Structure 1
């Protein structure tokens, strides 16, 4: 039954996903964390990418639940929040199948989700660990160059920004951006009053992530 489920999801991703190759979605998860935070972030990033790197992404991202087969329609999922994260065993298996089938998940810590997230990722990939990406990783040299790696957008605890990933046969399938808060930089200028140069760094890094995800 697991093999049939995997095959069905695999075909769903490559048949439906091809038709919707540049649609993206927000990942809705359980546990009480605010998965819906930064509501203007992805629409602004989409507009930036469509205007600067030639994407044709649907302006309004969809929302999909972790356990739904609908996640296989999207080559890129975005996840964010401040608090608790919880995946059931079935949701963890669904997410694992999606990622191993060619999907990409970007998790942007909006501050405070890291301890809960790392606990739940052990359900998804018990045999894998998050690894820090070096500044020479291709994700930092797509359309825009970030020779020092992930930019710092918001201070939070004042720690250095980290880009952490999970790989399968050399392919980066999950990116976790920590102590950076790219999503805050993508939001409308009036939300956080970030200087334009800070917002531009966040948007350019986001564009690199999307470009990498679509190519990988």
Structure 2
């Protein structure tokens, strides 16, 4: 489909924004969205508490006082890893689920609020694979799934969530070994559905921003290799050369899960203020447009 004129305006807005701005001062911040996430005390309720200067480093904005929960909340899934359990941020081998957290989540939330008509929760949330927690969010984000370890009950919970209209974005795992490990979990979740390669023509790549390529977004530590050699993959992980966007569809061909393999969209969100060149080449050009496209697809299908 031909993208609306608004998409061009949003692209121009991204160009003008530049690196991450400082916090927005607003004495009347409005309502406070409720987070229905984990309550076990292993994480701060407010993701900004992860950073000593979190309240000053990230923008914030008002939400409706009358309908404080009538907002989109960027929520990520906390899961067990094959070595180390769930863990917390910076707490050993189970922290894969918290990679890039909370920077990527807060930056993505800010850009959604800034560049689209969505009303967005400025804080975000983390949820376990639990139906009561997950049901509050139409979009969930999973990251670094190369060592994920889920039970059959958790697999059913995820399957039911998606079949009932929910959407999961999987991101940032590289190489053949990571794919094979995650594929075992996929067979638990979807024993009777196939995993399909999503063509560039699919609307998920064109919802708001028309993407001409399937982007491969590298971790910022590989940026020098991009500049010197044009390498955007993690060359120390065999099988990571080619980016893949795979998915699972329901019986009506609604995409329920997008799997971004051999690319790191969340890094583009997290590192947008680290280096102007990286921001221009990956955050602005690919990570935010792709993220916005995926979220808009999830909310409209």
TM-score, normalising length: structure 1: 0.84
Match for 2:99 among 37, 40, 44? 37
Are the structure 2 counterparts of residues 147 and 129 from structure 1 closer, same or farther at C-alpha, using a change threshold of 3 Å?
Answer: same
Q: Does 1:175 align with 2:282?
A: no
1:18-167 paired onto structure 2 within 5 Å? 20=70, 22-31=72-81, 32=84, 33=94, 34-39=96-101, 40-81=103-144, 83-111=146-174, 113-148=178-213, 150-154=214-218, 155-157=233-235, 159-167=241-249
Equivalent-residue separation in structure 2 for 1:136 and 1:108 (angstroms)? 20
Structure 1 residues 97-128: Cα deviation after superposition (integer angstroms, max 9, x where no partner): 10000000000024364322211111111011
Are the structure 2 counterparts of residues 35 and 192 from structure 1 closer, same or farther at C-alpha, using a change threshold of 3 Å?
Answer: farther
1:1-12 paired onto structure 2 within 5 Å? none
Equivalent-residue separation in structure 2 for 1:192 and 1:213 (angstroms)? 30
Name the structure, 1 or 2, with higher relative contact order (CA <8 Å, separation 6+): 1
Task: Describe the SS at the equivalent of 1:35.
Answer: helix
Equivalent-residue separation in structure 2 for 1:22 and 1:191 (angstroms)? 26
CA RMSD of aligned residues (A): 1.9
Task: Describe the SS at the equivalent of 2:199.
Answer: coil
Q: Does 1:186 align with 2:269?
A: yes
Equivalent-residue separation in structure 1 for 2:134 and 2:208 (angstroms)? 27
Task: Describe the SS at the equivalent of 1:159.
Answer: coil
Gaps of 5+ in 1: 1-18
Preserved contact between residue 152 and residue 179 of structure 1 (Cα < 8 Å): yes
Cross-structure match for 2:39: none
Equivalent-residue separation in structure 2 for 1:127 and 1:37 (angstroms)? 30
Equivalent-residue separation in structure 2 for 1:22 and 1:214 (angstroms)? 9
Are the structure 2 counterparts of residues 206 and 45 from structure 1 closer, same or farther at C-alpha, using a change threshold of 3 Å?
Answer: same
Equivalent-residue separation in structure 2 for 1:110 and 1:73 (angstroms)? 26
Preserved contact between residue 21 and residue 75 of structure 1 (Cα < 8 Å): no
Cross-structure match for 1:196: 280
1:200-215 paired onto structure 2 within 5 Å? 200=284, 201-215=286-300
Task: Describe the SS at the equivalent of 1:54.
Answer: coil
Preserved contact between residue 24 and residue 75 of structure 1 (Cα < 8 Å): no
Equivalent-residue separation in structure 2 for 1:21 and 1:138 (angstroms)? 24
Bigger radius of gyration: 2
